Amino acid sequence: MVTFLARLFRSSVMIKIIMAVSGLGIIGFLLAHLTGNLLMFGGPEKINAYGQSLRDLGPVLWLLRGGILLFFIAHIWSAIMLGKRNRAARPIGYAMKKPIKATVFSRTMMLSGLTVFAFVAFHLAHYTFGKIQPEFFNREYTLHDGRVTHNVYEMVVYGFENPAYTLLYVLCMTLLGFHLSHALTSAMQTFGLNNPKYSKFLRRLGPSFAVIIVAAYLSIPVSVITGILKHKADIEHTALSNEGGIIKEMKQ
């Protein structure tokens, strides 16, 4: 047990496995978070009820948050451990060095990872703690069951109507995509999965996954800025004119 643990936290291969496991854990969170976010397209009732149901989880929510935090800590710890070792392994660099087949994404994992980290901090301050754009944070919404809850829908729509915020999110998500495009395929290799039978599939897995995730996340700010997702006033307006439409049809 002692040797196993000593090896787990010292061996470059094992630290890499910790990095891959924690990375996949964070990817799991990314998928869950995305599923929730896409409820924006279902309108204020859907997303706000979802937000309330998360808060209703109480201690379970904190357990989940703790798990994600643990994944992040493990991932960043392993990135630091390996990064230190890797830098020490080449104290004097080359005057000329050309990558042969290493992609730019695979060579800039630390950079894209740190950007994602900075983004996560910003994003929490923005939409979890309401420290950024606080004017949109404390709006209320009355659910169909009469409960008054936090208006996530408006917070997001008002937030992204500011093009600076949309642009920032686009940039950060793009860097997340860079990270993911190498990460997922790389994690498979780290787990020892690489066989001519499916290596082509694995090579494409990371980049395809990255494109899909980034596009799905960005669909929200982009829909706000292009007016596909509107805030409350607009929605009531369209809803009313729709009712008008139905009435007109019925009259005919």
Partner 1 sequence: MKLTLDIWRQKSANAEGKMVSYEVDDISPDMSFLEMLDVLNERLLEKGEDSVAFDHDCREGICGMCSLMINGMPHGPERATTTCQLHMRKFHDGQRITIEPWRASSFPVVKDLAVDRSAFDRIVQKGGFISANTGNAPDANAIPIPKKDADIAMDAAACIGCGACVAVCKNSSAMLFVAAKASHFGHLPQGQPERYERVIKMVEQADAEGFGSCSNTYDCEAACPKEISVRHIARLNRDYLRASLFGE
Answer with the entry of ligand HEM, partner 1, none that 193 interacts with (C-beta below 5 to 8 A by kind): partner 1
Residue 248 contacts which entry, ligand HEM, partner 1, none (Cβ below 5-8 A, type-dependent): none
15 binds partner 1 per the rule CB under 8 A: yes
CA distances from 216 to 160, 163, 194 (A): 16, 18, 28
Q: How far is the CB of 173 from ligand HEM (least distance, A)?
A: 11
Rounded least distance, CB 174 to ligand HEM, Å:
14
> Residue 4 corresponds to which tokens in the numbers above?
């196993």
The span of 91-99, 144-152, 158-166, 221-229 binding partner 1 (CB under 8 A) equals 91-99
Q: Does 96 bind partner 1 (CB under 8 A)?
A: yes
Question: Which residues sit opposite 150 in a β-bridge?
Answer: 140
Select from 9, 11, 57, 211 the one that contacts partner 1 (CB under 8 A).
Answer: 11
* Residue (of 188, 180, 214, 203) closest to 20 by Cα position: 188
Neighbours of 213 (CB within 10 A): 20
116 binds ligand HEM per the rule CB under 6 A: yes
Interacting residue with ligand HEM among 117, 194, 208, 222 (CB under 6 A): 117
Helix axes 12-37, 163-190, angle to 10 degrees: 140
CA dist 120 and 72 (Å) reads 10
Cβ atoms within 10 A of the Cβ of 142, count? Answer: 12
23 binds ligand HEM (CB under 6 A): yes
The C-alpha angle 196, 201, 203, rounded to 5 degrees, equals: 90
* Whether the Cβ atoms of residue 156 and residue 40 lie closer than 8 Å to each other: yes
Q: Tokens 């992040």 correspond to what residue?
A: 72
- Of the pair 24, 205, the CB lying nearest ligand HEM is at 24
Which one of ligand HEM, partner 1, none is in contact with 76 (Cβ closer than 5 to 8 A by kind)? Answer: ligand HEM
Beta-carbon neighbour count of residue 151 at 10 Å?
A: 23
CA distance 180 to 193: 17
Taking CB under 8 A as the binding criterion, the range among 98-106, 152-160, 164-172, 215-223 that sits at the site for partner 1 is 98-106
- Residue selected from 93, 233, 241, 252 as contacting partner 1 according to rule CB under 8 A: 93
In the complex, the residues that contact ligand HEM under the rule CB under 6 A are 16, 19-20, 23-24, 26-27, 30, 72, 75-76, 79, 82, 109-110, 113-114, 116-117, 179-180, 183-184, 186-187, 190
In the complex, the residues that contact partner 1 under the rule CB under 8 A are 4, 7-8, 10-17, 82, 85-86, 88-103, 106-107, 109, 182, 185-186, 189-196, 199
